[in-house]
Structure 1
Amino acid sequence: MVPTTEVADATLRKVTIRLVPFLGLLYFVNYLDRVNIGFAGPSGMKIELGLTETAFGFASGIFFVGYLLLEVPSNLALHRFGARRWIARIMVSWGIVATAMAFVPNGTMLYILRFTLGVVEAGFFPGILLYLTYWFPQTQRARIVALFMTAVPISTALGATLSSLVIQYGDGVFGLSGWRFMFLVEGLPAVALAVVTWFYLTDRPAQASWLAPTEREWLTAELAAEQVAVERAEHWTVRKALTHPRVLGLALIYGGIVYGLYALGFFLPTIISGFQQQYDTHYSVVQRGLVNAVPYLIGAVVMVRWSRHADRTGERVWHVALPALVGGLAIPVALYLGNPFAAMVAVTVCAVGVLAALPTFWALPSTFLSGAAAAGGIALINSIGNISGFVAPYVTGGLKDVTGTQRAGLWVVGLCMTGAAIGVLALRSRARHVLR
């Protein structure tokens, strides 16, 4: 008989190779479609549609309103109907709406489409996180989520350059402005990948014909045993998961970490401008993209290694708190460094802190939630946490208008991330039997 450890290693290796790169590709396309309005605005959209800065900010932020409203129902639907069908449905819907942005005639229709994009995309990210719990034991989840989430720094690092080049060289193609052509080109892959998803994904290990019988049996039994252990420790209904202080606390902690992720996008252009001024030079689109990529690419490497350490030791809470604290302290330091290189180092440390904290954080909810409760709880955490995506631009911009500098807004970033670190430690003290 083949030893269980050999079966486990072979099974997890097959599952990882088959699922993680494909899911990462989906998230790359998803994240780019979500944020590419930021590249369209200064590239002619605001002028062509007659948008003020306030109107453009509203159009950017209203996405999160639709997104927040439908997160929980969408994830519960995924749990009921299966990941293959539901993820494909989300993708084809968001692809159609994202592509329609290429033909938006005015500001009002832009608001409608951005709101609709949030509605149809709702549930994608928490749905993937839930789907991964169907395939990987708890001892592997931080590492797997980290591998999946490398799509965030990669899309952030490459997205600006890719979108800028499409805008630059697509201007006039099919009679469209460059920003319109970008929406067209970047929206269609989601529709195509929806078709692939329908045929490629498998809902549960028991249905995986691409695993050997012994591998299917081992993985199904392993995950079933884990679910029984979680349910015996503490029974959670969907209602309890949506109202319990522990889940709400995790949502606020996640919001504090994500606030730092959104804020990096505000500060990096300032750093790059400092390089150009100090050295009296001008960067091309590609060069600016490469400078912008540095913190995220370093963060991606550290994120994967840090999450592996968390899985190996079995410790989660400090693996969230420590990088969040370091990242929170690094941003205020960057504000007072006159040398752009030194400021870039501080910003990179912040990026590393944010990205290292995120995947291990997502290993926490599944330590006490399973089944439909996990579907609802994970979606609620992501939904509330992503309020940062709506709040951060307004708070940062508003404080700059009042004070005349970026410092006040980025002090808020540091406080939010530090608060997240303190919060996760406080939560462990109240639920030490679950969170460790």
Structure 2
Amino acid sequence: MRIPNCHARAIGALAGCTALVLAATGTAAAHPAARTAPERQVLATGDGWASAGTGTTGGAAADAAHVYTVKTWDAFKAALAAGGSAPKIIKVVGAIDADGPNCTAFAADGYDFAGYLATYDPEVWGRTKNLDAEPAASQEGLRRASEARQDAYIKAFVPANTTIIGVGKGAGFKGASLQVKGVDNVIVRNLTFESPLDCFPQWDPTDDVDGNWNSEYDSAVLYGATHIWMDHNTFTDGDYPDSDLPYYFGRIYERHDGELDIVKGSDHVTASWNVFADHDKTILVGNGDSDATAAIDRGHLKVTFHHNLFSNLVERAPRVRFGQVDSYNNHFVAEDGYLYSYGIGLESQLVAEHNAFTLPEGARAGSILKKWNESTLSAADNYVNGKRTDLIAVHNAQIPAETLTAATTWTPTLRTKVDPAKDVPRLVGRGAGAGRIG
């Protein structure tokens, strides 16, 4: 077996190279098989798009000086910054609060939410002019300044060649926004992410007919990132579900963005054995239809989702533009408020096979797919409430105004074991999510 990353990314330490070989093959010459420590494990050969090319090893080759154990947000950010892009391992112990001070502490002097509402009430401001040109001293300008303070605190930037892993059960982040931007070779495992809560959403009266509140901060965003393995994590809204959010101007005061967004030319990503739960706009693969975005994303956004649990979500599991996305052996459990799972966007090339869907009484199987644009789609061997179902055919029968056509332009080859779709609810229920490694 070829182990490409041992020479390409190891820093010359024999021990680090041996760890890579053990992780990839499970064996070493003249020695019995040994269990590799979780923080030294690498993505297996053939395990989704992140195994393509040079593969994904994260910080497996880190020397002792670049292994960090952190228990606080400040220590975590310091560990990310230390050592540049040399291979590093960051072990997270316990639940780290990344929210920092309360929203009032982030607020710029003079910002007043009641004043914001009074100023931009559609009955006063109207619905045809956005707020982007408002000066710095306005309530919108002060909202932007307040947002910048929160932004600087809750975002953490991950360098190349890094493994971030939770130790045992209960490890993770509350209110963090993990930024994996313009880097290669990152592993994130065994962590629970409670979605960051935007303290200062912006009102946009021109967004849709009635306007919308728009929020920032994904739990994790991959932005121009390559060779990323997200494994055995749990993403949830935790103590702040959308059902508890108030309404202003007749629209929900949205304080969450995505759980995992994969955008701006990101490529070679595998998301395996994660739980995505209790959220509205869950996952984007590609975040726009513009010519400028298309120029960045075409030929990229190759992503694999397998053995994930998508539970009590509203939409975007995922919504796909441009990318070649392989989604197999996932379990989708819908509840009240469910809109759709797969969003078929511009030039998307989605293969959705061998998945299981559990829908509540009254939910239509045709809603599993949502057509935004005419794109290629393969959706074979899926089960809905225990019955094999042709997702495209049932969609077209129930939603004839959005007819989808089965068509393929590529065939996934980077899969390890494909389990029978009927077994997926049991397997994923038993194995997905944080707290199941080490």
Q: Normalised by the shorter chain, which TM-score bucket? A: under 0.3
The structure with the largest strand share of the pair is: 2
| TM-score of the superposed pair, with normalisation by structure 2 | 0.23
| TM-score of the superposed pair, with normalisation by structure 1 | 0.23
Higher relative CO (Cα under 8 Å, sequence separation at least 6) belongs to: 1
